[in-house]
Structure 1
Amino acid sequence: MKHFIITLLLISGLSLTAQSNQFAGDYSRTLSADEEKNIIEYKLTLNQDGTFVFHYYRKLQGGTPPEENKYGKGKWSVKDNVITFSSDKKDDFDAKNTLDFTNSKARFVTKNPRDKSDKVVKTKLQFLESEIPWMKRIDIFKV
């Protein structure tokens, strides 16, 4: 009986790891206009260990400041294709990492495996909620 329970726990643990592999990876989005004079870039990496790193870059001609870099890091978890982000004030913030992703949520969007049509659906994260005002409703695509 003990062996059966241990085997069952190992199998369920492996299935949970396989589930997070689907979400883990690099995501990015670049918005540019005026022949690369104005650029906004979002880069997010979801690591398999449940941590993430984020980089936001903005270069606007005539902007104040003309170039801006912002960083954030923390932990992520998933439930029903919604990824929830959190940042620990003690461990995840320093002089470089200043963005607070606590209470941020993003929906994982991909083509339904039952959809056999030729329709192309890019795998993406669509941010639904965030205390970072410019992150709401942003789509970033899996690389």
Structure 2
Amino acid sequence: MKLITTILFLIFNLTLFAQSNQFAGEYQRTLEDTQNKHLIEYKLTLNQDGTFLFHSYSKINGGVPPEVNKYGKGKWTAKDNLITFSSNKQEDFDAKYTLDFNKSTARFVTKNPRDKSDKIVKTRLTFLESGIFWMERIDIFKI
């Protein structure tokens, strides 16, 4: 009986680990206006250990200042296809990491495995809500 319980426990833990595997990775989005020489880049890394790093870079021609780098970090959790981000004020904030991802939720979007059509669906995170106003409704694609 102990052996069966142990095996079931191990299988359960492996399935949990496998589910977080599909979310972990690097995501990126680049918005570029070549005519006016504007550039905005978002990079998000979801680590296997449940932590994340975010970097936003913007270079706006005629902007003050012309180049801006913003960083954020914290922890992420997944339930179904929703990823919830959180940042601890004592651990995750300093002079470099200033973005507050508390109250941020993103949906993991990928092609349904049962969909056998030729339709191409890029794997992405769509931010549904965020305390950072410019992050809402942003899609960041997995690379």
What TM bracket, shorter-length normalisation? over 0.9
Percent identical residues: 70
1:121 and 2:111 aligned: no
Residue type at the aligned position of 1:19: Q
Who is 2:33 aligned against? 33
Write the deviation string for residues 40-99 of structure 1: whole angstroms up to 9, x where unpaired: 000000001100000000000001110000000000001120000000001111111000
Measured in 1, the distance between the counterparts of 2:9 and 2:99 equals 37
Asked if 1 retains the 8 angstrom alpha-carbon contact of 2:36 and 2:61, the reply is no
Q: In the alignment, what sits opposite 1:63?
A: 63
Name stretches of at least 5 consecutive residues in structure 2 with no aligned partner: none
- Structure 1 stretches of 5 or more lacking a match? none
Give 1:72's aligned residue: 72
Corresponding residue number in structure 2 for 1:43: 43
Aligned to 1:130: 130
- CA deviation after TM superposition for structure 1 residue 34, in Å: 2.5
Partner Cα distance (1:35, 1:19) in 2? 42
Mapped to 1, the partners of 2:40 and 2:24 lie a distance apart of 23
1:119 match: secondary structure:
coil
Cα deviation, residue 36, structure 1: 7.4
Q: Aligned runs of 1:89-108 on 2, under 5 Å? A: 89-108=89-108
Moved over 2 A (4+): none
Deviations 1:109-140 (A, max 9, x none): 00000000000000000000000000000000
Contact 2:43–2:55 (Cα < 8 Å) also in 1:
yes
Give the Å deviation of 1:4: 1.2
Residue 86 of structure 2 is matched in structure 1 by 86
* TM-score, normalised via structure 1 length: 0.98
Instruction: Work out the CA distance in 2 between the residues paired with 1:17 and 1:36.
Output: 45
2-structure distance, mates of 1:57, 1:45: 15
Counterpart CA distance in 1 for 2:103 and 2:2 is: 40
In the other structure, the counterpart of 1:4 is: 4
Q: TM-score, normalised by structure 2?
A: 0.98
State the distance in 2 between where 1:91 and 1:39 align: 31
How far apart in 2 are the matches of 1:126 and 1:104? 11
Deviation at 1:32, TM superposition (A): 0.4
